[in-house]
Amino acid sequence: MLSKVITISALVTFSASAHEMTPAYPEVKVSHVKNVVKVEMSLFNSREEIKYYQIDLFDLNWMNIPFSSTYRIIKIGYKEHKSFDVYIRERDMPEAVYLCTTSKVRKTNQSRTLISSRICSRLDGEPA
């Protein structure tokens, strides 16, 4: 009983500061631009101290791959959902693996560690 109470308390207490991005394995769709595909992503921010997230696209060795999006750095409010599309050239798709969002931390006037969160989805499909 006590452990259940602790677990529930922990969930209630700690759920206030989170970074979430879905889907983990996005579907690659055709776009309105020739030879360019798009993936549709959704971001949720409940980290009160974070207002900006950066989008990055990497290959398997974490080298950057070019892409286009309305926002390279997304401004997103506290407890706000935002959907965004990422456009990738078809010729870059064989190399594109990780699509990530990374929180941008702000400078503080306290001696502390800041936590930058990064969530990466995979564009090369679910593991077999």
Residues of this chain that bind another protein (CB under 8 A): 7, 11, 14-15, 17-25, 47, 98, 100, 105, 107-122, 126-127
Chain centroid offset of residue 6 CA: 30
Shortest spacing between CB 41 and another protein, in angstroms: 12
Shortest spacing between CB 34 and another protein, in angstroms: 29
3 state SS of 85: strand
Q: Output 37 or 123, the one with its CB closest to another protein.
A: 123
Shortest spacing between CB 120 and another protein, in angstroms: 4
Q: Output 34 or 107, the one with its CB closest to another protein.
A: 107
Per-residue burial over 106-122, b = 16 or more CB atoms within 10 Å of its CB, e = otherwise: eeeeeeeeeeebebbbb
Q: Which residues pair with 68 in a beta bridge?
A: 87
Shortest spacing between CB 16 and another protein, in angstroms: 8
The answer to whether 18 and 39 are in contact (CB under 8 A) is no
Euclidean distance between CA atoms 86 and 70, whole angstroms: 8
